[in-house]
Amino acid sequence: MKSLILAAGYATRLYPLTRNFPKPLLDVGGKTILDRLLTDLDRLDEVEEHIIVSNNTFFPYFMAWKNRVGYRKPIHIINDGAESNETRLGAVRDILLVVETLSVKDDLLVLAGDNVVDFSFEGFVRFARQKQTSCITCHHEPSVEALRKTGVLEMDGSNRVLMLHEKPANPPTNWAVPPFYFYHASDLTLIRKALTMGCGFDAPGNLAAWLAKERPVHAWEIPGKRYDIGDVQSYESVQKIFKT
């Protein structure tokens, strides 16, 4: 299995903090957001390699970061070539770029590089291996307003995904879907087909939503909290929570 961190966005809602600096490398409690994710992933025996996809603008920052960190597993940084927010590839096309550039034929654990969590992904990997399907994550969200700003899940009693809705005006359930995914190796060959058939490419959840209509996909309830760093206010809040 390989881990893939999506880190090619421009984080315009965090300006001026991220005007000239990548969001995943912002500090939270003495560690970068990226390092908080990789510290957990690196200790999972199933993960053999870490892949980070960046845009061209911030690629040098990630290369400099790579040169000063030390993890057990090798790190591969892919430059998607984007020069601005307006020309970004989008999360789904970034996943496809990685899969085709590196000829990935292993299971792929995909995480957005702008989230901080207080739990391990070990349980998610174990769940996905048991189900033997691609999987997504979910958590109960009581706020309708919050549900309108994220992916929302409908699933059956066996945790199989029935439908995924991206930022619905009228959320059908209280199951929110954070940007953490497990793609079974056999499903990676479908990504190009998904894009050809009109799958949205910007939000990472677009791929999971399309795939759930084609193949069995299951949902794992996260056992803790995740903090989405979307703007300056949320970043300041997370800094307080993880203050050293």
Backbone φ/ψ region at 66: left (φ over 0), alpha (ψ -120 to 50), beta: alpha
Task: Give pLDDT tens digits for 116-141.
Answer: 999 999 999 999 999 999 999 999 99
Q: For the chain, what is the mean pLDDT?
A: 94
User: What confidence tier does 105 reach under pLDDT thresholds 50, 70, 90?
Assistant: very high
pLDDT at residue 203 in the model? 87
In percent, the amount of the chain with pLDDT more than 90 equals 89
pLDDT at residue 31 in the model? 94
pTM (two decimals): 0.94
DSSP conformational letter for 160 = B
- Tell me how far apart the alpha carbons of residues 232 and 238 are, in angstroms, rounded to a whole number: 10
Mean pLDDT of 32-57: 97
Task: Give pLDDT tens digits for 56-73.
Answer: 999 999 999 999 999 999
Q: Is the pLDDT of residue 32 over 70?
A: yes
Task: Fill in the amino acid letter for 107.
Answer: D
- Tell me how far apart the alpha carbons of residues 98 and 101 are, in angstroms, rounded to a whole number: 5
Q: Is the pLDDT of residue 244 over 80?
A: no
- Residue that the structure tokens 């390989």 belong to: 2
Q: What angle do CA 124, 201, 183 make, to 5 degrees?
A: 25
Q: Is the pLDDT of residue 200 over 90?
A: no
**Domain boundaries along the sequence of the chain:** 2-241
Q: Is the pLDDT of residue 1 over 90?
A: yes
- Tell me how far apart the alpha carbons of residues 37 and 20 are, in angstroms, rounded to a whole number: 22
Domain 2-241 has CATH 3.90.550.10: yes
Mean pLDDT of 85-106: 94
Q: For residue 186, what are its two tokens?
A: 């056999």
The CA distances from residue 236 to 37, 162, 216, 226, in Å, are: 19, 36, 39, 15
Q: Which of 194, 186, 126 is nearest to 164 (CA)?
A: 194
User: What confidence tier does 201 reach under pLDDT thresholds 50, 70, 90?
Assistant: confident
User: What confidence tier does 92 reach under pLDDT thresholds 50, 70, 90?
Assistant: very high
* Residues facing 110 on adjacent strands: 4, 181
Mean pLDDT of 9-38: 94
Q: Is the pLDDT of residue 2 over 90?
A: yes
Task: Give pLDDT tens digits for 135-187.
Answer: 999 999 999 998 998 889 999 999 999 999 988 999 999 999 999 999 999 99
Task: Fill in the amino acid letter for 105.
Answer: K
The CA radius of gyration of the chain, in Å to the nearest whole number, is 17
Mean pLDDT of 33-62: 97
